[in-house]
Amino acid sequence: MRASTKPILAARRRRQLHPFFFRMGPVGLSICSVLLISLMAVLYLSQLGQAVTTNQEIQRLHRQQATLAREDQDLAQQIAQEQSPVYIAARAAAMGLVPADPKTIIVLVIPHLKPVPSDDQRLQP
């Protein structure tokens, strides 16, 4: 009696250990496979869409950076041009200003006047 019950118990245990997929038929397995593949495709396309969006944002930022660099270079060139002595002399002449004659300048000397401190010296009371 013991010998005949052992194979039955072993078969029951094997049935309990079998995964759910092995008990499904081919139609159920096909449906599960299609669903899993569809889910993976949706996840992949979602990640791909995020990557494309991020790439477009990076390209937009690169274009903006290049535009700002050109504007910065143009402004630096304009500042350099407007700080040149030739430009300043031309603008002053256009406004009607003329250089002063050193012979006609009157210099006032004030006794006991303290000199103005330079930028590197601290102002003291």
pLDDT of 30-89, one tens digit each? Answer: 898 999 999 999 999 999 999 999 999 999 999 999 999 999 999 999 999 999 999 999
Considering only 66-70, 90-94, 100-104, which range has the smallest mean pLDDT? 100-104
Tell me the helices (H) and strands (E) count for the chain, helix number first: 4, 0
For residue 14 the two structure tokens come to 């094997």
Distances (CA, A) of 117 to 59, 107, 121, 123, 125: 52, 21, 6, 7, 12
pLDDT of residue 1: 47
For residue 68 the two structure tokens come to 């700002």
